Amino acid sequence: MSAHVATADGHHHADGAPVSAYHESLLRSPVFLGMIMFLGSEIMLFGSFFTIFFYMRFTHSPWPPEGVEIPKEATGINTAILISSSFTMHWALVSIKRDRRFGLVVGLFLTLAMGLTFLSLQVHEYLNLGFTPSNNGFASGFFSLTGLHGMHVFVGATLLSIAFLRACRGHYSGAEHIGLEVTGLYWHFVDVVWILLYTVVYLL
């Protein structure tokens, strides 16, 4: 028989898995809805940067300019690292919903470690590119988009650090983990934006 665990808000989890009522209460949470609204504004911000980048791309030829090379393969590895961090973040969220503290802590640690690795490799790339934002339109657009995203990764890593410390202190439970849900939503957003950015800037 399936074991049912009652949560603080009266909903029940079967075998540790939350029922739809939990998701309905989540969508009524002011904190969660606030994060969704914030990410909506972030979509518009990134949208404006992508629009400018596309405008420069289709009004300048050749693109990128001759003599400008960007490390597609190395950045591809960095992209894989960031994508992998979404899976570990999901593992952490699933673990806390089932009150599995070990999976929560390890999942957050791995997510944070991969996020910081991504930032470190991005800085290393900047230092070895051989061009600066003032060189040409491509360089300006490149640093603007990747720099904006890097700032968001840094914010996400800060949120992950806080979540990791709280998890180590036992502040989360299957019934109370809205802060982790919000952090996870933000981190997934950062990952999705990078996939789009890598495709547009590095591959196309």
Q: CATH number of the domain at 198, please.
A: 1.20.120.80
In this predicted structure, what is the pLDDT of residue 60? 80
For residue 168, give the H/E element and its range.
helix 137-168
- Global confidence as pTM: 0.84
> In whole angstroms, what is the distance from residue 139 CA to residue 75 CA?
16
Q: Count the residues in the chain.
A: 204
Instruction: Say how many domains are in the chain.
Output: 1
Buried b / exposed e along 42-59 (16+ C-beta atoms within 10 A)? beeebeebbeebeeebee
Domain containing residue 67: 4-203
In this predicted structure, what is the pLDDT of residue 10? 42
In this predicted structure, what is the pLDDT of residue 15? 46
pLDDT < 50 positions in the chain: 1-19
In this predicted structure, what is the pLDDT of residue 155? 97
